[in-house]
Chain A
Amino acid sequence: MSYRFSFADKEIAAEAGQTVGAALIAAGYRSWRTTRHNGAPRGIFCGIGVCFDCLVTVNGRANQRACLTEVRSGDRVEPQEGAGRADLAQ
């Protein structure tokens, strides 16, 4: 069974049980976050929930670990800049 979710307004396919991070890697992405201080790009590093490098915003919730978050059909996934709380500054 295949799921679909949106990432930065593009539609991405995922297999059942696959994580957001794995689906993004499979779709060719390597980074989806920039760091707080240097604005450096980051994606998955440890892949098992230890390093927090792969943070992403899922359905409006910032700071979700892409490597642990299993895709549900219709999820809206957004890249994350800095602390991921740009919404607070609006």
Chain B
Amino acid sequence: MPTSPSSPTSNNNTDSNNADYDVTVLGAGPAGLAAAVAAGTAGARVALLDAGNRVGGQYWRHRDEDTGAGHHHWSTLRRLRSAVLTGPVDFRPGHAVWHVSRADHGFTVHITDGREIRTTTLIVATGGYDRQLPFPGWTLPGVFTAGGAQALLKGQGVSVGRRIVVAGTGPFLLPVAAGLAEAGARVIGVFEAGSPDGFARHPGAVLTNLDKLAEGAGYLRTLLRHRIPYRTRSTVIAAHGVDRVHTATVARLDADWRVLPGSESQLDCDAVAVGYGFTPQLEIPLQLGCATRLDADGSLVAVADDQQRGSVPGVYLAGEVCGVGGAPLALVEGELAGRHAAYRTVAAVPDRRAVGRLLRRRSALRSFAAAMHASYPVRPGWLSWLDGETELCRCEEVSVDTVRRSVVDLGATDPRTVKLLARPGMGLCQGRVCGYATACLVAHLRGRPTTEQDLLGISTRPIAAPITLGTLAEG
């Protein structure tokens, strides 16, 4: 441990003497921004890397001239952005990381263009993306992820269609539908597969997070104003069209998400936006060997302690990678991670009052996230929406029947073996889109619940972003 008092550039002693930075933050969304600012303020030399060209991540996706209309907590982004761009943080846009290796100085971060960044500690704040459940027709153009529809609207000013069906599960469907309606699209309906009455069973989490509920109520008012129906225990079970979607089949579901016979109806539409919660982006923690667990929402997440430390020394985790919980929680976890990474590397005096306050806030926000996960679970009946021809893996065009044969005829017992035999998850997206569904389908075919090992087997990726063979040869 360094023993001298800190200053931003004085940390050239002991084991960190070969590092370019004390702290390197991966991802410039809410968690990464908060982490970088906290670490920089505490006196660490900080690099903040993002694959994109701007700070903000998916949550604050924007263009340069954006004034914040339609964004939540925009003033927080402005404060953090100005702290990053004018303060002690080295923001490095356009840096897609394909690998992180351990080294004597800490870690070496490998960028897709061949550059390397040497750092004493690492904060992984790589966020997440929409979790998808396949259904017949989900590969048709015009079917979008809910997050994709939101990114095109908020980040690009483009609506995915004129007559849009929004479906899936979780509170995120509400801002997506409200945003599209406010932008002038006709949202035919919001079809929520779950029956989110669960909040009534979590009064503590509700009372401490009233602002989040108020946000939800605002979206519901927008839906009401635009006369958009919000249907629970219903979802899109099929999309139809030749070279683009023109109809969606919507059906009522039972408590396990099996289709209630005779409840199907056809809706004319030119776009469908679907999402079933979020999947944390875990490539880097998995490459480094960080311990994982299965979270309440069924996602594989990395384990973080009260200082946001992962199980590998020097690795800190913040935001969705340690459990999907939304931007307010990501900001708190980011600040905790940034402070502790700086305390460790530059021997700054910890601010115990601030840390205590952050931990209390984290606890309240995590209870809210847990209540949310308990209210919007993915139920196994979704597997009954599939037919044999449904493409499970979009990249390699692997059908449900092909996966079934590799389990039933060839005897595969786990998703990783199925991946090797039938190629789901072998394409360009590396199983990011089909991984969860493949794990669920294989476990179901084996007559058992989906396990952490199932998800691990299809989530481990030695290369986290596409690189050229030349870069790989030099790396």
Decide: A49 near B156, CB < 8 A? Known: A18-B63, A31-B141: no
Task: Tell me if A17 is interfacial: C-beta within 8 Å of chain B.
Answer: yes
A37 to B145, CA, bound (A): 23
A26 to B262, CA, bound (A): 37
Q: How many residues on the B side are at the interface (Cβ–Cβ under 8 A)? A: 37
A22 to B149, CA, bound (A): 10
Decide: A52 near B395, CB < 8 A? Known: A31-B243, A44-B144: yes
Instruction: Chain B residues near A40: list those with CB within 8 A.
Output: 139, 397
Task: Tell me if B158 is interfacial: C-beta within 8 Å of chain A.
Answer: yes
Instruction: Chain A residues near B64: list those with CB within 8 A.
Output: 16-17
> What's the minimum C-beta distance from A55 to chain B, rounded to whole angstroms?
8
Decide: A50 near B63, CB < 8 A? Known: A44-B144, A45-B144: no
Decide: A45 near B158, CB < 8 A? Known: A16-B63, A50-B429, A51-B432: no
Decide: A22 near B156, CB < 8 A? Known: A37-B397, A47-B144: yes
> What's the minimum C-beta distance from B156 to chain A, rounded to whole angstroms?
4
Which A residues from 5 to 56 make CB contacts under 8 A with B? 15-19, 21-23, 25-26, 30-31, 35-38, 40-53, 55
> What's the minimum C-beta distance from B384 to chain A, rounded to whole angstroms?
23
A25 to B111, CA, bound (A): 31
Q: Is the CB of A44 within 8 A of B148?
A: yes
A57 to B155, CA, bound (A): 22
Partner of A46 from the list B63, B141, B147 (CB cut-off 8 Å) is B147
A13 to B151, CA, bound (A): 19
Partner of B160 from the list A25, A31, A46, A53 (CB cut-off 8 Å) is A25
Task: Tell me if A75 is interfacial: C-beta within 8 Å of chain B.
Answer: no
> What's the minimum C-beta distance from A65 to chain B, rounded to whole angstroms?
9
Which A residues from 57 to 74 make CB contacts under 8 A with B? 63, 67-68, 70
Decide: A26 near B158, CB < 8 A? Known: A46-B147, A48-B151, A52-B427: yes
> What's the minimum C-beta distance from B457 to chain A, rounded to whole angstroms?
19
The proximity string for B residues 383-401 relative to A, scoring 1 for CB distances below 8 Å and 0 otherwise, is: 0000000000011110000
Which B residues from 79 to 118 make CB contacts under 8 A with A? none
Instruction: Chain B residues near A22: list those with CB within 8 A.
Output: 152, 155-158
Q: Is the CB of B152 within 8 A of A44?
A: yes
A21 to B141, CA, bound (A): 13
Partner of A45 from the list B61, B145, B155, B397 (CB cut-off 8 Å) is B145
Q: How many residues on the A side are at the interface (Cβ–Cβ under 8 A)? A: 35
The proximity string for A residues 64-90 relative to B, scoring 1 for CB distances below 8 Å and 0 otherwise, is: 000110100000000000000000000
* Nearest B residue (CB) for A41: B243
Partner of B428 from the list A37, A52, A68 (CB cut-off 8 Å) is A52
Decide: A43 near B149, CB < 8 A? Known: A16-B63, A22-B156, A51-B394: no
Decide: A47 near B151, CB < 8 A? Known: A18-B156, A31-B243, A41-B141: yes
A42 to B432, CA, bound (A): 17
Q: Is the CB of B129 within 8 A of A35?
A: no
> What's the minimum C-beta distance from B411 to chain A, rounded to whole angstroms?
25
A32 to B403, CA, bound (A): 28
Task: Tell me if B142 is interfacial: C-beta within 8 Å of chain A.
Answer: yes
* Nearest B residue (CB) for A26: B158
* Nearest A residue (CB) for B243: A41
> What's the minimum C-beta distance from A59 to chain B, rounded to whole angstroms?
17
Partner of B148 from the list A15, A37, A48 (CB cut-off 8 Å) is A48
A25 to B158, CA, bound (A): 7
Partner of A47 from the list B145, B157, B397 (CB cut-off 8 Å) is B145
Q: List 18 A-B contacts (CB under 8 A).
A: A17-B63, A17-B65, A18-B156, A23-B158, A25-B160, A26-B158, A38-B397, A42-B394, A43-B141, A45-B145, A45-B148, A48-B129, A50-B129, A50-B432, A51-B394, A52-B395, A63-B428, A67-B148
